[in-house]
Amino acid sequence: MIQHRAVRLFWLLSTAGLVGFATPASAGESDPVQVAVDWSSFERSGDLAHIWVTTTFAETVTLGHGTYPHRSQRLQYAIDCADRTHALEQWILTDAAGGEGNIVWQDRAAKLYFARGAKGTLEAAVVHAACELNPKSTVARNPAEAAPVQ
């Protein structure tokens, strides 16, 4: 029951864009964050897709009330392309940039709560890209994989 509540709270905070952004460990001005979508983790079967997104913060942040101090978070989203919604599937919080370092907290959702991302949010952009991507395309997803122009 407690884990279910924690997962639901984490999902609500993530959907609202507040996970990791909530409380800097030291009071001060808000610093920019670096977000990287890991397209190598992209998987799609029918209308359901999965992808990891890593966010790195300029300083250590917490989820609120001083809990789970972390420098980066890796979130795996489940995306339902039929209704253009996403759910938080699993997460890893680490004490170093780029998802590296020691794991502060790692867990997965016992149940997926799908929601529609607000326009202009990272989640809305990831849903759009994941659902518009043609999984059968032969076009390189990573520019480094593209054949040189001759």
Q: Would residue 143 count as lying in a domain?
A: no
Taking 90 as the threshold, does the pLDDT of residue 22 lie above it? no
State the total domains in the chain: 1
Q: Would residue 38 count as lying in a domain?
A: yes
Q: Would residue 149 count as lying in a domain?
A: no
Q: Would residue 145 count as lying in a domain?
A: no
CA distances from 21 to 1, 34, 36, 44, 63 (A): 26, 12, 16, 29, 8
Rounded to whole angstroms, the Cα distance separating 96 from 73 reads 9
pLDDT for the residue numbered 16: 39
Task: Quote the percentage of the chain above a pLDDT of 70.
Answer: 68
pTM score, whole prediction: 0.70
Taking 70 as the threshold, does the pLDDT of residue 140 lie above it? no
Q: Would residue 68 count as lying in a domain?
A: yes
Q: Would residue 86 count as lying in a domain?
A: yes
Q: Which of 86, 63, 91 is nearest to 76 (CA)?
A: 91
**Structure confidence by residue, pLDDT tens digits, 68-108:** 999 999 999 999 999 999 999 999 999 999 999 999 999 99
Taking 50 as the threshold, does the pLDDT of residue 12 lie above it? no
Q: Would residue 62 count as lying in a domain?
A: yes
Write the CATH number for 50.
2.40.128
Tokens of 143: 């520019």
CA distances from 68 to 20, 43, 57, 74, 111 (A): 9, 29, 14, 14, 22
Q: Would residue 116 count as lying in a domain?
A: yes
Tell me which residue range forms the domain holding 117.
2-136
- Please enumerate in sequence order all residues whose Cβ is within 8 A of that of 38, keeping only pairs 6 or more positions apart, or say none: 51, 52, 53, 54
- Please enumerate in sequence order all residues whose Cβ is within 8 A of that of 75, keeping only pairs 6 or more positions apart, or say none: 14, 19, 52, 53, 54, 55, 88, 90, 91
